[in-house]
Amino acid sequence: MAGTYKITLQGRVQGVGFRPFVYREALRHGIRGSVSNNEEGVIICASGPETNVQAFYRCLVEEPPAIARVMSHSLSPLPFENPPDFRIVPSETNSRLNLQLTPDFALCERCASEISDPKNRRHGYPFTSCVNCGPRWSITDTFPFEREHTRMDTFPMCPKCVQEYTAPTDRRFHSQTNSCNACGIRYWLSDTRGKPLGLTGEAIFEKLALALEQGQILALKNSTGYLLCCDARQGSAVQELRRRKKRPGKPFAVLYPSLEVLHADLEVSPEAAQALRSPERPIVLLPSGRYRGEACLEDIAPNLDQLGVMLPYTGVLALLARAFPHPVIATSGNLHGSPICYAEADALEKLGMVADLFFHHNLEISQSQDDSVVRFTEPDGVRIVLRRSRGMAPNFGQPAARGAGSRLLALGAHLKSSVAFVPNDFLYLSQYLGNLDHFEVYERFTQMASGVTRLFDTPAAAVLVDAHPGYQSTLYGKALAKEGGIPCHSIQHHKAHFAAVLGENGLLESTAPVLGVIWDGTGYGDDGQVWGGEFFGFERGRITREGHLDNYDWLAGDKMAREPRLSLLALAQPHWEEVQSKFSGQEWQVYAQLKSAGRLKTSSMGRLFDAVASLLGLCDLNTFEGEAAMRLEAQCLNDTTSAPTCYTCLDKAGNIPARALLARIRAEANTGVAIPHIIRNFMYTLARLVIEKAETGGYRKIAFSGGVFQNARLVEMLRETGGVSYDLYFHRELSPNDENIAYGQLMYHLHCQKP
């Protein structure tokens, strides 16, 4: 019996070729009616025999396009209609948005093939895309995702592109980013003053390749902002980029021309290879101990055993890789601490003293983004997100459950800021924004916070901020709440971390108690001290502090995070002569006096890692955030000796005895135990202490969050130590670092009982 039905599909269903897919499936199943985008998602009016409609519906839900994500769907009867055919109708916007936004997608294989094919009309066109790939979030002004709502609106399609756009059998059928050499985006080279060099087409990429060969530094405007590039094989070029960018030691990412070339140089696990080829196309950290290529590793990632690599994810990078088929440094186009440049004038002003040659184009960028970064543990291949940005933002993987439509605006932390908002049935989490100490980052942060409410035409009903009274995100949130006459709620930093990992793993409704292990650098504690090595218990919506790393002196404020020697001084015994040798006479007097005052205490696990690195002679002064911890991990991976040893137990109060642990490490070093083995024992001890805490507290579920758990070796130690007897939960879609605080603030406010 024939009938008419309304089908609604929500999730990541716009900008992914869903309407063309629906059109083709409707023809295949003998369905008449229409499909459109609206503020709810994809809406279908389907007329036909009930069995056909049901089969059509199942196909849409169970076999959607590869880059689509159907998160909710419904089918309901309508009064019978008898339309003559099936068609795609223009989008309608009748109310506020209630759908997932669409992230940027990497260049697909078919588009990459067209760019390389001399017989194809898109040969050499850097901005080739289709329904399966191309920019989305980076060029979006509003939704539904239609060309007129993006920065592509200024590029009218030529007749051939229009023909593709309107042909149901073409993969560019209703591709909103469709363009070609005849009608599309203009690109050119300029010198450092912005003067065009007069080259066109293939000659542009030949010039870029020649410049790389000559050791020059390039600034390339890519899909989400400028990248700085140089030949990764030339140590002098890499060092010159470091000098100009004021980045003395932080590792650079390397762009490889293909996975085949990468395989020849490095071992690539199946999980890493899949990530490198994925639509997100992030930077992936790979073990570099057996590197066989020509890149200058010690200049690219000094004192580390990981190399961050990526494959071309845009036509611009694909054409560069074709012209210069060698590894290339590809790092964010910014100066130290500043956000990535994405406009020509800004790039020329800020990068004019860094780059020798500029590649520009005239597609404006709405949302600038850094590259996402991930890594995998060995041997289990567990993914750890280090930076969540291009290809991943601005969605969260699941619809909002409790709190949907609450209009809660969460403003996150300070060093790795992000913004989260719940205006409707979905939760939106911005890309990584950066350190709010820097004014330009703070400006971008405030623009994101105000922009997300404008995008949904939905003002915030309440603001969530970190409990730290001095965080710029906190100060901004309080001012925003006061201005709007809405509540502002402060949430303790580590409780937000815990709520984030609970929420991501579906544990907030768990009836079984969960042990939270929240280890990071710093966070303002409920007692006014500096927390960072915390044990929490979670049961029936209540979070309680169950223990911590034993308190020690917090010295010189934020300077302590930059100088691991200060952490060593704070934890060292007075008679340790090797500590004093790390300071000048004047410094020693000042810091010894600060230590004797001892007013502010900390339980920071991050600073304990720093102290161990300094004690073992690996790092006294960080040149970038986390350097000491990264060097520790690099050494640990070199240990192939006997089984690890546990150095200590929890103290009587159930806390981790930091000073006793450090003293044992010093004794081991003084007796000649190899540094890699000591570090392995240190991490094994931490893993054993977590299990001891769970055993004594009667926990069988353990959840981990905080920047310390970016350490893949520690994560693997925990899995080896407790994975059989305990259920271990780590972040999967979010980073364990402070990028997850905004999400955690939402989860805490919505699910946890307040003290």
Task: Kindly state the average pLDDT of the residues 558-579.
Answer: 93
Identify whether 343 is part of a domain. yes
Higher pLDDT, 82 or 595: 82
Tell me if 291 sits within 8 A of 278, measured CB to CB: no
Judgement on whether residues 349 and 280 belong to the same structural domain of the protein? yes
Identify whether 471 is part of a domain. yes
Report the alpha-carbon distance of residue 224 to residue 245 in Å, rounded.
Answer: 19
| Domain assignment of residue 24, given as a range | 2-88
Q: Which DSSP symbol is given to 635?
A: H
Judgement on whether residues 440 and 358 belong to the same structural domain of the protein? no
Residue 90 has pLDDT above 80, yes or no: no
Residue 184 has pLDDT above 90, yes or no: yes
Looking at residue 94, its pLDDT comes to 62
Report the alpha-carbon distance of residue 233 to residue 212 in Å, rounded.
Answer: 10
Judgement on whether residues 442 and 362 belong to the same structural domain of the protein? no
Identify whether 135 is part of a domain. no
Residue 103 has pLDDT above 70, yes or no: yes
Residue 128 has pLDDT above 70, yes or no: yes
Looking at residue 754, its pLDDT comes to 76
Report the alpha-carbon distance of residue 306 to residue 268 in Å, rounded.
Answer: 12
Looking at residue 92, its pLDDT comes to 66
Report the alpha-carbon distance of residue 363 to residue 513 in Å, rounded.
Answer: 52
Judgement on whether residues 192 and 319 belong to the same structural domain of the protein? yes
Task: Kindly state the average pLDDT of the residues 529-558.
Answer: 96
Number of domains in the chain: 4
Q: What is the CATH number of the domain that holds 724?
A: 3.30.420.40
Residue 518 has pLDDT above 90, yes or no: yes
The 10s digit of each residue's pLDDT in 425-436 is 999 999 999 999
Residue 228 has pLDDT above 70, yes or no: yes
Q: What would the two tokens of residue 520 be?
A: 């990071």
Q: Which of 346, 373, 400 is the last residue of a domain?
A: 373
Task: Kindly state the average pLDDT of the residues 518-530.
Answer: 97
Four-residue CA torsion sign, 539, 540, 545, 549: positive
**367: Cα separation from own chain's centroid:** 15
Looking at residue 95, its pLDDT comes to 66
Higher pLDDT, 116 or 15: 116
Report the alpha-carbon distance of residue 406 to residue 101 in Å, rounded.
Answer: 18
Task: Kindly state the average pLDDT of the residues 568-579.
Answer: 92
Judgement on whether residues 412 and 276 belong to the same structural domain of the protein? no
Identify whether 318 is part of a domain. yes
Looking at residue 152, its pLDDT comes to 97
Judgement on whether residues 359 and 485 belong to the same structural domain of the protein? no
Identify whether 545 is part of a domain. no
Q: Quick check: helix, strand or coil at residue 44? A: strand
Judged by average pLDDT, the poorest of 441-445, 452-456, 619-623 is: 452-456
Task: Kindly state the average pLDDT of the residues 339-365.
Answer: 97
Judgement on whether residues 296 and 206 belong to the same structural domain of the protein? yes
Higher pLDDT, 39 or 396: 396
Q: Which of 490, 519, 537 is the last residue of a domain?
A: 490
The predicted model scores a pTM of 0.95
Task: Kindly state the average pLDDT of the residues 64-85.
Answer: 92
Tell me if 452 sits within 8 A of 445, measured CB to CB: no
Residue 236 has pLDDT above 70, yes or no: yes
Angle between helices 658-670 and 675-697 in degrees, nearest 10: 150
Q: What is the CATH number of the domain that holds 80?
A: 3.30.70.100
Residue 643 has pLDDT above 90, yes or no: no
Task: Kindly state the average pLDDT of the residues 614-641.
Answer: 90
Judgement on whether residues 211 and 328 belong to the same structural domain of the protein? yes
Looking at residue 691, its pLDDT comes to 98
Judgement on whether residues 361 and 414 belong to the same structural domain of the protein? no
Residue 74 has pLDDT above 90, yes or no: yes
Q: What is the CATH number of the domain that holds 222?
A: 3.90.870.10
Identify whether 388 is part of a domain. no
Which band of pLDDT confidence, cut at 50, 70 and 90, is reported for residue 636? Answer: confident
Which band of pLDDT confidence, cut at 50, 70 and 90, is reported for residue 251? Answer: very high
Q: What is the CATH number of the domain that holds 446?
A: 3.30.420.360
Identify whether 22 is part of a domain. yes
Amino acid at 571: L
Q: Which of 88, 120, 138 is the last residue of a domain?
A: 88
Residue 14 has pLDDT above 90, yes or no: no
Express the helix, strand and coil content of the chain in percent, nearest 5 each.
35, 20, 45
Judgement on whether residues 74 and 213 belong to the same structural domain of the protein? no
Share of the chain above pLDDT 90, in %: 86
Q: Which residue has the tokens 């000094």?
A: 302
Identify whether 396 is part of a domain. no
Which band of pLDDT confidence, cut at 50, 70 and 90, is reported for residue 145? Answer: confident
Judgement on whether residues 213 and 360 belong to the same structural domain of the protein? yes
Strand partners, 442: none
Residue 59 has pLDDT above 90, yes or no: yes
Looking at residue 596, its pLDDT comes to 76
Judgement on whether residues 420 and 343 belong to the same structural domain of the protein? no
Tell me if 628 sits within 8 A of 609, measured CB to CB: yes
